[in-house]
Structure 1
């Protein structure tokens, strides 16, 4: 019996969740066995009744804490305002139900980004870029058949995504290919913790220490390292930059605090720009009050690497999908960012799902949860004591967007769950001094900016024109 292609794609993403649930159950059983073994050993060794009672009480406390963690979902449900599930932002009706499963498995479901690019006839080369704090980032380069512009373009993806997002559609629909065909040397960046950047000079992804980062470190270390690598390899004086979602956020943060980095970026196009996220429509806003520290967030985000727990997925899918059964409702990227099938090639969904989510740290999600609460564009909050040690003040410093000097073209949508129009309206006055273009795509949601089949016509032609116009000024 042939397995439907979309089920294979979903299975690939769900295995880690299944393994995690099994591991937790095994851990619970091991604790019970350890308690019983300890009791027998203690009794045989001649320990007094009081000592045995204290040991058993300690083991019982551990079991109780574990069982308490299982009830967090119920507790969250009690905190949800009455009627929320009836009024929360939802997927448009019919998107999941009308998904036509492809008749064959698209090979891109199983291919790497390099294989996908090569199969489309483009020349690709991969690089390893080491950051100042030791993370090794995978960066892919698409070399143009005829280079017409000496200034290369660096593209950086959004939250839970990878450089694959820029080549995830057909060649005439993907921004990376459009830029390459226009004669640009195109570089696809990958920030720490995603599929192509899970390496470090001394740490392993299996170590908790590896995952102690948020988008603060991406802005401080990853973006400068990638820009330096592009300039060093090409000999260019500057780069053009394109970011989506988190890729815009780390750029705004980096440019606000790094004057040298400002001078290395000739111009930038920001798709679905993110700074503050205090007014997001995503249902993650309901979890935010319970996940503003790593200790609080374990039950939702995992420990170390972001592994969306079954409880988190169930909570989000109920909020977004109600009782509907849809492949979209099993993928955390759609639940966090929203989805609208209007501009999506539905037969490409297995490809999107097989490459996304691409990974990040639980600490990164906590940083977003904090931002939902305080509604400011600021650094990670470690608590008063650690904040004093790191920042020299009890509260995290805010990023000053008035320091940015990079000419910006911004592209935003009115149906965006993450880059909400209200948050964008708060960002706009702070970047107005360096704003070159402002384009509102009224009916676009967050993922349409990279996955929309009409994005080439609606957005990408304008992005290429923006860079071409700047390039023509002095032959850049």
Structure 2
């Protein structure tokens, strides 16, 4: 499915790099190899476009961690958070998780020839292997011993896995800012798409997977990207497209989407994610627990020593955490998810002052600066390493 357009990967790489250059920002690109052999790419904006040279000034490093079916471009396209933080004096790092456009290499495996092995991961492996590798690289390349972490959607899930499974890394995180968290798998997860996936898509995927052919990647990403110009060329097409987008992320908030260029937005997303990432979420939503991947009783016993997958110990997340909620986010409920009690060290909670603010608005809202970004920077300054 991913190779439906043969040069899609290279096009997306060029789109991101062209965006950075068009907007006048100096950028750098690095690769890092994880403990389990995945070779991932991370981009860097070391300073603002208002500064001609780096001047060796110390700028606190911040990692922006993208969600499922996204890549680093999501923070540079309609979101602009990457640019905003650079302009506020931060050294911005933009990682790309395994399997995305920018991170499709492995020391041994080929994502096309070795599909069964290469794509055999969920967001557990992203948290346990990808995020630590990115953090270590950023610390190595900067003069700071700690980094900021900002995650959206799956970026919040990965953070919870990362610091609960690798608790020694709490000492390397100044502050984590979690936008639209997907950690508490309770009744607060009420997205329409969850119902669609749970009762129709996931059973269909498992049926096809078992009897016809192996599904490795969440399908339809190229199809959606190809259709986006057709669905946004006039007001009716745009309305249908936005209704579909909101069906998956939260009830309509058209006012915040007035500046969204849907065709441009879809140039880099949906991006590729493994089918394991989707299935892991669905398992947790169905069980209403935040657990490791459920392989079934027999394999669970072999892997975990119990027939049920174990819970992640969120109390081990002891570095400071700031939570950012949308009142209309269908993937959590700020009133009931109790993350301030479940995580080990929540120091700040902010609910966006817009009744319609939903899961995708963290990436596309036209009023992001006053509603969200300025509050993120304010709390980051309180936890800045000298």
Q: What TM-score results when the alignment is normalised by the length of structure 1?
A: 0.68
> 2: CA distance between counterparts of 1:463 and 1:353?
26
CA distance 1:455–1:347, change in 2 (3 Å): closer
Aligned pairs (5 A) from 1:100-179: 111-144=14-47, 145=51, 149-169=58-78, 174-179=80-85
Give the match for residue 428 of structure 1: 340
Give the match for residue 193 of structure 2: 283
Q: What is the CA RMSD across the aligned residues, in angstroms? A: 3.1
CA distance 1:120–1:325, change in 2 (3 Å): closer
Q: Is the 8 A contact 2:221 2:272 kept in 1?
A: no
Give the match for residue 8 of structure 1: none
Which region of structure 1 is more displaced relative to structure 2, 445-454 or 238-247?
Answer: 445-454
Aligned pairs (5 A) from 1:27-426: 111-144=14-47, 145=51, 149-169=58-78, 174-206=80-112, 207-208=114-115, 209-278=117-186, 279-289=189-199, 291=202, 295-296=206-207, 298=209, 303-308=215-220, 329=241, 335-338=247-250, 340-421=253-334, 425-426=337-338
1:453 to 335, 341, 366: 366
Q: Is the 8 A contact 1:245 1:419 kept in 2?
A: no
User: Larger Cα Rg: Structure 1 or Structure 2?
Assistant: 1
**Which SS does the other structure have where 1:267 is aligned?**
strand
How far does residue 294 in structure 1 lie from its aligned partner after superposition? Answer: 6.7
Which region of structure 1 is more displaced relative to structure 2, 220-229 or 203-212?
Answer: 203-212
> 2: CA distance between counterparts of 1:309 and 1:245?
18
> 2: CA distance between counterparts of 1:247 and 1:262?
16
How many pairs does the alignment contain?
355
Q: Is the 8 A contact 1:277 1:420 kept in 2?
A: no
Q: Is the 8 A contact 1:154 1:242 kept in 2?
A: yes
Q: Is the 8 A contact 2:191 2:248 kept in 1?
A: no
CA distance 1:137–1:331, change in 2 (3 Å): farther
1:234-271 superposed Cα distances (whole Å, 9 cap, x missing partner):
13211011000100111011111212111110111111
Q: What TM-score results when the alignment is normalised by the length of structure 2?
A: 0.83
Name stretches of at least 5 consecutive residues in structure 2 with no aligned partner. 6-10, 225-235
Name stretches of at least 5 consecutive residues in structure 1 with no aligned partner. 1-15, 21-107, 313-323
Q: Is the 8 A contact 1:114 1:140 kept in 2?
A: no
Q: Is the 8 A contact 2:147 2:174 kept in 1?
A: yes
How far does residue 364 in structure 1 lie from its aligned partner after superposition? Answer: 1.1
Q: Is the 8 A contact 1:165 1:451 kept in 2?
A: no
Q: Is the 8 A contact 1:153 1:242 kept in 2?
A: yes
CA distance 1:310–1:132, change in 2 (3 Å): closer
